């Protein structure tokens, strides 16, 4: 129930939907019950040979209680029979039945419409909360989780949750109210027959509960299997070139098919149980009705019942309807189990802590005036120390290069500046202010990032360059593209700046993708640039164009560069050499060559290669 109420909180403000829903449902139940209550008088009117008789009853006295609806109806029916005869009474009853049916179905429609609005409102809030929290999670989370599993939770599990939660509200309110109303009417018609009938209902409930007992565990397994399939699909599509190049198509097909068969097997087992619940419930309902017909008929034939023929038929019809809400309640258990299982997975994603938040009272920084400073920065992944006591000053306007062997901590150090991760010891300062005391949005607004991997979106060239800047004009975008050496090739694409570049920019070459990323950084016009292996994956011609664009981009900006191709950073104001998480050397290219240390060995290795 704890999980259920957590999920229900996403329906707030629930009273906006609950109050109209309760009102419409009560009116629907009232008129639906009235239809079956009128069935007895209708049949008695047809069966009656004497216009002065209603069923087996004698002269009916005017009721004294306003709540005795059936007695009032019988009283007025008797008066109509006296005045207009059986035909007139029949017309009155039929008209009343039609009005009750129309009103009942009108309120049924309104309650269903209200519930649908609640369902969509819940889905909107739940999916928004999940996605927003995922976007706030630190980068390390995504390194440990399958992307397909996250997609499955946001897309599939949320859908299951919102249907099960809102349908449960119907089960909690509508079906019990309907059940109580029908039961009340059955007791009014015949208390003895109703008490006998109710003896069989617990047996029906026990059998249904046994059928749906394992559904929750199966639902969890099905959702996990579905997440695996989405992950395999995402990996296959993202790495389709590698899959084909290594002749791994068969392996990928078999891996996906194995999980697909597992998911189908679990789903088949769940469906078997869910589908068994309804026929079993219906079979028991018919069996119960048959026994009631047998027992009630015996009482009537032996003059032991107060029921007339019309009332008995109405009782049977009403009892058959009693089993419908009972059946809906039992059938809903399977949906509830699936929904709660999916809800636990979704809440797990919502409850995952972002890891890095704005500190209470964090203030915004509006500019970069002096320098960027690392003071005693240390960081470790689990037991592995990545950075140890890093002290570094990056003055405004200078270009600083980070070099060193792979695994030395260069990318980790750079990721700390925009607070993708935070140091476990020490601090990073902008103009003397600890960035943890500043808002992340304002810190990141000072920075432009160009990575080795060109991160582009399945959209137009214009929208990719203007990403994050909704006020960018075409003139702004073209100017940025020219600085990035991208304008020339953009003009030769099919639709110029409105050309769609495909998923992850697959319609462009590597150099073209990288120049689009540089144009995006130019348009942002940040005072600090972070360049992580921006040219390492390019051919010589593309590298030259991109390097020219980077040189323009870094002009008059503070830049931090990571590069394995040391020829690209020889003109940096300062080169910082990291080895095993420590700063082992720093200085200009010429100074480090003369030191005859790690940097010179790296230069010699590349020269030899």
Q: Residue range 108-128: average pLDDT?
A: 85
Structure confidence at residue 388 (pLDDT): 92
Return the higher-pLDDT residue of 24 and 159: 24
Structure confidence at residue 53 (pLDDT): 41
In the three-class reduction of DSSP (H, G, I as helix; E, B as strand; rest coil), residue 155 is classed as helix
Q: Residue range 180-206: average pLDDT?
A: 73
**Distance from C-alpha of 180 to C-alpha of 322, rounded to nearest angstrom:** 9
Beta bridge partners of 531: 450, 561
Give the whole-number percent of the chain exceeding pLDDT 90: 11
> For 561-583, how does the pLDDT look when each residue is reduced to its tens digit (9 = 90+)?
887 666 667 888 899 999 888 99
pLDDT surpassing 70 at residue 87: yes
68: DSSP letter? -
439: DSSP letter? -
The average confidence (pLDDT) of the chain is 78
Q: 135-144, 229-238, 326-335, 585-594: which has the minimum mean pLDDT?
A: 326-335
Return the higher-pLDDT residue of 339 and 30: 30
Q: 67-76, 128-137, 266-275, 543-552: which has the minimum mean pLDDT?
A: 67-76
> For 163-180, how does the pLDDT look when each residue is reduced to its tens digit (9 = 90+)?
666 666 667 777 788 778
> For 32-61, how does the pLDDT look when each residue is reduced to its tens digit (9 = 90+)?
777 776 666 666 655 554 444 444 445 556
Closest by CA to 599, choosing from 576, 581, 582, 574, is 576
Structure confidence at residue 538 (pLDDT): 62
> For 286-306, how does the pLDDT look when each residue is reduced to its tens digit (9 = 90+)?
777 777 777 777 776 776 666
Structure confidence at residue 556 (pLDDT): 81
CATH superfamily of domain region 371-608: P-loop containing nucleotide triphosphate hydrolases (3.40.50.300)
Beta bridge partners of 395: 371
Between the CA of residue 467 and those of 6, 138, 145, 478, 524, what are the distances in Å?
A: 36, 21, 27, 14, 9
CATH superfamily of domain region 2-351: ABC transporter type 1, transmembrane domain (1.20.1560.10)
Report the interhelical angle of 201-211 vs 249-301 (nearest 10°).
170
Q: Residue range 5-30: average pLDDT?
A: 82
Q: Residue range 15-24: average pLDDT?
A: 86
pLDDT surpassing 50 at residue 499: yes
pLDDT surpassing 70 at residue 256: yes
Structure confidence at residue 94 (pLDDT): 77
The string of DSSP codes covering 83-107 is HHHHHHHHHHHHHHHHHHHHHHHHH
Rg of the chain over all Cα atoms, to the nearest angstrom: 37
Break the chain into its structural domains and give their ranges: 2-351, 371-608
> For 397-454, how does the pLDDT look when each residue is reduced to its tens digit (9 = 90+)?
898 999 988 888 888 899 899 888 889 899 999 998 999 999 988 898 888 888 877 7
In the three-class reduction of DSSP (H, G, I as helix; E, B as strand; rest coil), residue 565 is classed as coil
pLDDT surpassing 60 at residue 186: yes
> For 451-498, how does the pLDDT look when each residue is reduced to its tens digit (9 = 90+)?
877 788 888 999 999 988 888 899 999 998 988 888 989 998 889 999
Task: Name, in order, each residue with C-beta under 8 angstroms of 340's C-beta and a sequence gap of 6 or more.
Answer: 3, 4, 164, 216
Give 65's pLDDT tier (boundaries 50, 70, 90).
low
- Strand 371-381 vs strand 384-395: parallel, antiparallel, or unpaired? antiparallel
Give 275's pLDDT tier (boundaries 50, 70, 90).
low
Residue 379, CB-side half-sphere exposure with 13 Å CA sphere: 25
pLDDT surpassing 70 at residue 101: yes
**Distance from C-alpha of 52 to C-alpha of 49, rounded to nearest angstrom:** 9
pLDDT surpassing 70 at residue 380: yes
Structure confidence at residue 121 (pLDDT): 85
Structure confidence at residue 202 (pLDDT): 65
């Amino acid at each position: 129930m704890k999980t259920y109420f957590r999920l229900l909180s996403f329906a707030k403000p629930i009273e906006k939907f609950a109050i109209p829903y309760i009102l419409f449902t009560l009116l629907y139940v009232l008129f639906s019950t009235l239809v079956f209550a009128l069935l007895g008088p209708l049949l008695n009117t047809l069966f009656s040979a004497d216009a002065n008789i209603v069923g087996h009853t004698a002269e009916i006295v005017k009721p004294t209680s306003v709540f005795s609806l059936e007695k009032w109806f019988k009283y007025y029916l008797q008066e109509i029979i006296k005045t207009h005869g059986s035909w007139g009474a029949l017309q009155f009853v039929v008209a009343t039945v039609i009005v009750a049916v129309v009103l009942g179905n009108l309120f049924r429609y309104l309650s269903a419409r209200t519930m649908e609005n609640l369902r969509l409102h819940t889905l909107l809030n739940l999916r928004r909360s999940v996605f927003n929290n995922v976007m706030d999670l630190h980068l390390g989370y995504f390194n440990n989780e399958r992307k397909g599993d996250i997609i499955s939770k946001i897309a599939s599990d949320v859908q299951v949750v919102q249907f099960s939660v809102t349908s449960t509200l119907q089960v909690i309110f509508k079906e019990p109210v309907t059940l109580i109303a029908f039961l009340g009417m059955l007791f009014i018609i015949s208390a003895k027959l109703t008490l006998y009938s109710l003896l069989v209902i617990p047996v029906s409930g026990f059998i249904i509960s046994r059928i749906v007992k394992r559904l929750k565990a199966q639902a969890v397994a099905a959702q996990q299997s579905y997440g695996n399939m989405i992950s395999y699909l995402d990996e296959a599509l993202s790495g389709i070139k590698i899959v084909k190049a290594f002749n791994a198509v068969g392996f990928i097909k078999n891996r996906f098919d194995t999980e697909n068969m597992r998911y189908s097997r679990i789903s088949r087992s769940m469906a078997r149980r869910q589908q068994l619940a309804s026929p079993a419930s219906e079979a028991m309902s018919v069996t119960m009705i048959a026994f009631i017909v047998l027992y009630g008929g015996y009482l009537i034939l032996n003059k032991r019942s107060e029921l007339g023929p019309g009332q008995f038929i109405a009782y049977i019809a009403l009892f058959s309807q009693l089993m419908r809400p009972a059946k809906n309640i039992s059938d809903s258990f399977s949906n509830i189990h699936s929904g709660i299982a999916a809800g636990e997975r979704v809440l797990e994603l919502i409850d995952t802590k972002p890891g890095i938040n704005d500190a209470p009272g964090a203030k915004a920084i509006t500019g970069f005036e002096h320098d960027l400073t690392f003071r005693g920065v240390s960081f470790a992944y689990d037991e592995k120390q990545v950075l140890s006591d890093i002290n570094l000053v990056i003055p405004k306007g200078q270009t600083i290069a980070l070099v060193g062997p792979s695994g030395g901590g260069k990318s980790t150090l750079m990721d700390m500046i925009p607070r993708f991760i935070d140091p476990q010891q020490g601090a990073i300062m902008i103009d003397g202010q600890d960035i943890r005391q500043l808002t992340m949005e304002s810190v990141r607004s000072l920075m432009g990032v160009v990575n080795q991997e060109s991160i582009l979106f399945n959209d137009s060239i214009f929208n990719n360059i203007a990403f994050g800047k909704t006020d960018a004009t075409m003139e702004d975008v073209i100017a940025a593209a020219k600085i990035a050496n991208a304008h020339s090739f953009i003009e030769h694409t099919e639709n110029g700046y409105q050309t769609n570049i495909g998923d992850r920019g697959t319609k462009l070459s590597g150099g073209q993708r990288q120049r689009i990323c540089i144009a995006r950084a130019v348009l942002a016009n940040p005072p600090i640039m972070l360049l992580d292996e921006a040219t390492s994956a390019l051919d010589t011609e593309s590298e030259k164009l991109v390097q020219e664009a980077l040189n323009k981009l870094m002009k008059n900006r503070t830049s931090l560069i990571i590069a394995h191709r040391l020829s690209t950073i020889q003109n940096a104001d300062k080169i910082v050499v990291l080895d095993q998480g420590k700063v082992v050397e720093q200085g200009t290219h010429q100074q480090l060559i003369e030191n005859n240390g790690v940097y010179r060995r790296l230069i010699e290795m590349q020269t030899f290669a």
